[in-house]
Amino acid sequence: MGKGNYYVYITTNPGKSVLYTGVTNDLKVRLLQHYQNRGNKKTFSGRYYCYKLLNFETYSDINQAIAREKEIKDMSRERKEELIAIKNPKWNFLVVQDDRLESQKDSS
């Protein structure tokens, strides 16, 4: 999954109406946590069912990753959509399989 140890990622809900941006050092584990917390009213991603991965960036420095996370969080929805479309123009849901990313087959 790349040489970096930190990931800035964007997830969405199944209807693709809400975006969540986060940072982690283990993308596979973090996505599992989001999935397990779906419906949890105490967290933003849980409350809005944001567990479907759309985009991620890899960093070797945690400070750079945190700075990028803040930068993305400050973006407008339109700008986030443009960022996602660069690598994932069809907004396919991405899944981590055996430490690599794949596009989920049925993500409409």
- pLDDT, tens digit only, all 108 positions of the chain: 445 689 999 999 999 999 999 999 999 999 999 999 999 999 999 999 999 999 999 999 999 999 999 999 999 999 999 999 999 999 999 987 766 666 665 444
Q: Is 93 within a domain?
A: yes
Closest CA to 11 of 72, 86, 97: 72
Q: Residue 28 falls within a domain, yes or no?
A: yes
CB-CB contact of 66 with 23 (8 Å): yes
Residue 94: other Cβ atoms inside 10 A: 22
Residue at 29 is within a domain:
yes
Structural domain tally of the chain? 1
Strand partners, 55: 10
> Which residues contact residue 63 at a Cβ distance below 8 angstroms, ignoring those fewer than 6 apart?
none
CATH number of the domain enclosing 12: 3.40.1440
Q: The whole model's pTM is what?
A: 0.88
95 falls within a domain: yes
The SS3 of residue 61 is coil
